[in-house]
A and B are shown apart, each in its own frame.
Chain A
Amino acid sequence: MVNWSDTALHVVSGKGGSGKTTVAAALAINLARDGKRTLLMEVEGRQGIAQLFDTAPLPYEERRIAIAPGDGEVWAIAVDAEDALVDYLATFYNLGRAGSALRKMGAIDFATTLAPGLRDVLLTGKACELVRRKTKRTANAYDAVVIDAPPTGRIAQFLNVTAQVSSLAKTGPIHRHAEMVMGVISSPQTSVHLVTLLEEMPVQETIDGLYELQRVNLPAGAVFVNMTRNPILDQKQSAKVRKGTLAIKKISEAAIQAGIRQSADVLAAGLLQEANDHVLRADLEARERTRIDELNIPTITLPYLTRGIDLGSLYALAEVMYDEGVR
C-alpha cells in the first residue's frame, strides 16, 4: 500500500523499452479516480502519450485526453523547451510578441542549445508551475502531475537543475527560477519512480539510478516492476522441471486424451522444452526480484499484457495499480 495523496508531482523514469510512458499514463489514470484531475506531461517530444491514447499530437497546451473511473479526468500536455522559454519570457519579462519573433528567427532554439541546463530547468519549471497551482488552490489546479521523464541514465541530471544552471548563472533570474524548481522537486510533495523489467540490465540501471538520486538528495518514490509473467507452474512442478523428473510421458498422454491433436513424442518434447525455458526464465526473474527487494523501496508489480498496449490496457494497468494499493 502506498499513499501518495500528498504527492503532487510524480516523475516516472525507466530504461528505454521498460514501458515508462505506459506506466506514467496508467498512473495518471489511477490517480484521477473518483473525481480527481491529473495531468500527464511529456518532455521528450516523442509524442508517445498521444500514440498511447490514440489522439492527435499533443500541443503545448493542456488538453483533456481521457476520463478515469468515478468521474475523474486525465489531462495532458507536451512541453518543449522552446515553448517553455517563450512562455517564461512572456511571464517574467512581458516579452510576449518579441518572444515569438525571436522564435521565428531560430534564436530561441539557439538559446536552449547554448545552455543545455537551461533546457531542463525550463521543462521542470513548467511542471512546477503546474504543481504549484495546487498549493495556491486555483480553479485549474491538478491533484497530481505525472511527468513521463527522460530515461534512468539521465534522470538525476535532469532533475538536479540547480547544479546544472550553477555553471551558467550564479545569480540572476534563471538562478532564482532554478532554486524555486529545486524547492519543489526535492520536497516531500515530489516522488521519483523508476520502471524496470526483471532482467539484468534494467535492474542494474535501476539500482544505479536510485543511487544517483540519493546522491543528489532527490526523493525516490517506488519501483514499478513491469511486464511480469504469471507463475503458471507451481513450486512443486517447477522443482520437477529443474530436476528433470517431470512425468512428461504421462502428462502428454493426459493432454492428448483431453483433445490435443499431436503425436505423443512431439508433444512431450515440445512441452518439456517450453517448461524448461519458462523455469529458466522464472528463476532469473526471481533472482532479479531479490535484488529489487533488497533495495527496500516500495515496489508495484505490473503484469505483461499478451495482447500489447492499447487504451484498454492502460485502464487494466491502472486497475492493477489500484489493487496493489496505489492511492
Chain B
Amino acid sequence: MSAFKIDAPIFDIDTIVLNTNIHIIVCTGAGGVGKTTAAAALALRAAEHGRKVCVLTIDPARRLAQALGVETLDNTPRRVVGIEQREGSGSLDAMMLDMKRTFDEVVEAHSDPERAQQILENPFYQSLSSSFAGTQEYMAMEKLGQLHAQARSQGTWDLIVVDTPPSRSALDFLDAPARLGSFLDGKFIRILVAPARGASRGIGKLAAVGFGFFTSALSKILGSQVLNDVGAFVTAIDSTFGGFRERADATYALLKDSHTSFVVIAAPEPDALREASYFVERLHADSMPLAGLVLNRVQEVTLAAVSREQALAAVEVLELGDANQKCAAALLELHSERAAMVQRQQDVAARFTSAHPGVPVVTVVALPQDVHDLSGLRAIGELLAD
C-alpha cells in the first residue's frame, strides 16, 4: 500500500507522549475532525507506556464515554479500567467537563458559604454559568488549571491531555476565556453597579451621556430586573474574586510554558485545514509550543501505479463484457473514484504544508468504523506513533 503523500516532516507523537518533560498536551481543531478521539488515544498511549495520565474530554460520543467510564457528568477524574501496560506502571484517569459544576466550584472555593449561596442563586449567574458564550472555554481552561495544580501538589498525574470545546472557531479556546474575563471585569459591568461613580471616573462625560441612553435602552429591552441581577452578581463577586481576567490570564500563561505542547487535529477538508492554519499561525504569534498536525481520516490509495485514466479507459472496454469483465469494470471504477478522492485530499493537504513547511504532520487513515473501545483507541495511538 502506498501511503498518503504529504510533503512535511513526520510527526511522531511519541516525542511528546513519552517525553516526561511534557506535562500538558492540548488537542485542538475544528469541530467534527476527531479531536476527542485523538485526545483519548494519545492519553491511552501515554498511560500504557508508563505515564500517569489524566484526560479531560469535553463532549465525547456516548459509546466512547462509556469506554472511558465517564458517562456520568460528575466532574471528577475516574480511573479507566482495561489499560494494558506495555512498560512501567502507568494509569489513566478520564473526566468529562461539567462547565456549570466547575463554575460553581470556583465560586464556592472563593467565597464564604453565605455569599456563595447568594451568587449561586443569582439569575444572572445561572444563565452565565450554563449558557454563556465562552463559558465552556473558560471553564475548560479553569479545569485544566485545577488539574495541573493538583498534579503538581499531590503528584497525581504527570501528564494532562485536554480536548477543546467544539467552538465555532478553534481560536475560541484561546480567546474566549480572556474575552469573558474582560467582560466580567470590564467598565460597562462596573457602571451597571454604580452608574454615577463610573460615569465620573473612567469613561468621560460624552460617553456617560451615551451610557445614559444605553442603560435606559437596555432596561427597556431586557427589563430592569436583568440589570439588577447583574448588579447584585457583580457586587457579590467583587470582594471575593481576584478578577476573572486575572484567572484567565494565569491559565493562559500555563499554555505558553515549555512543558506544554499543542497538537492540532484536522481532516483533509478545506474548512478543517483552514481552521488548522489559523491556529498554527496564532500559536506561532503567541510563542506557544506546537508539536504537530494530525491529519485524520485520510484515504489511502492501493494500486498507486494504476492511474485514474488507465482505470477508466479499461472500464469502457470491460463494462459490456461477461460477468467477470463487468466485475472488473466495477472494481476499476471503485479504484478510480478512490484515486480521485485521494488526489483531492492530497491537494488540500498540500495547500497547508506549503504554507507551513516546518510543521510536522502525521496522517491517520480513515477507519470504516467509529472508535468506541480501548482497543480502537490503542490502534489509533499506534497509527499516530508510526
Please report A residues at the B interface, Cβ cutoff 8 Å: 15-18, 44-46, 48, 89, 93, 95, 98, 101-102, 105-107, 110-111, 113-119, 151, 153, 157, 167-175, 199-202, 204, 229-230, 232-234, 237, 246-247, 250-252, 254-255, 258-262, 266-267, 269-271, 273-275, 277-278, 280-281, 284, 306-309
Contact = CB atoms under 8 A, between A and B. Distances in A.
Interface string B320-332: 0100110110111
Contacts of A119: 133
Given A204-B62, A273-B302, A118 B221 contact: yes
Contact of A116 (B33, B131, B332, B333): B131
B150 to A, nearest CB: 30
Contacts of B317: 258-259
B143 interface: no
A62 to B, nearest CB: 23
Contacts of A201: 61, 370
B210 A102 contact: yes
Given A168-B223, A260-B332, A307-B340, 8 more contacts: A17-B31, A17-B269, A98-B217, A105-B211, A169-B222, A171-B223, A201-B61, A246-B327
A14 to B, nearest CB: 10
Nearest to B124: A114
Most buried by A among B133, B314, B328: B328
Contacts of B217: 89, 93, 95, 98, 102
Contacts of B341: 306
Given A262-B306, A308-B270, A16 B166 contact: yes
Given A259-B314, A271-B303, A101 B210 contact: yes
B366 to A, nearest CB: 9
A118 B186 CA distance: 20
Given A167-B127, A174-B222, A274 B335 contact: yes
A19 B375 CA distance: 30
Contacts of B321: 254
28 contacts: A16-B31, A17-B31, A17-B271, A101-B213, A102-B213, A107-B211, A110-B188, A110-B189, A116-B131, A151-B166, A167-B126, A169-B222, A173-B220, A175-B223, A201-B370, A232-B334, A233-B330, A237-B327, A247-B327, A254-B324, A258-B317, A259-B313, A261-B306, A271-B331, A273-B1, A274-B331, A277-B368, A284-B369
Interface string B194-227: 0000000001000100110110011011110110
A233 B331 CA distance: 8
Interface string B323-363: 01101101111110110110010001000000000000000
B31 A255 contact: no
Nearest to A101: B210
B221 A173 contact: yes
A107 B188 contact: yes
A172 B328 contact: no
B267 interface: yes
Contacts of B332: 255, 260, 271
* Interface residue SS majority, chain B: helix
B305 interface: yes
Contact of A168 (B222, B269, B340): B222
Nearest to B226: A168
A113 B32 contact: no
Most buried by A among B133, B189, B222, B305: B222
B168 interface: yes
A224 to B, nearest CB: 16
A149 to B, nearest CB: 12
A277 B338 CA distance: 11
Given A200-B370, A258-B314, A110 B331 contact: no
B226 A17 contact: no
Contacts of B131: 116-117, 157
Contact of B168 (A17, A44, A107, A269): A44
Nearest to B219: A172
B267 A172 contact: no
Nearest to B168: A44
A17 B334 contact: no
A17 B186 contact: no
B19 interface: no
Contact of B333 (A95, A232, A259): A232
Contact of A232 (B62, B302, B330, B344): B330
A16 B32 contact: yes
Contacts of B218: 111, 114
Nearest to A231: B330
A17 B32 contact: yes
A169 B226 CA distance: 8
A202 B368 CA distance: 14
B302 A274 contact: yes
9 closest pairs, A vs B, by CB? A16-B31, A17-B32, A270-B303, A16-B32, A258-B314, A169-B223, A270-B302, A258-B317, A254-B328
B39 interface: no
B272 A17 contact: yes
B144 to A, nearest CB: 22
B368 A250 contact: no
A107 B32 contact: no
Given A116-B131, A233-B334, A271-B303, A255 B328 contact: yes
Contacts of B272: 17
A275 B331 contact: yes
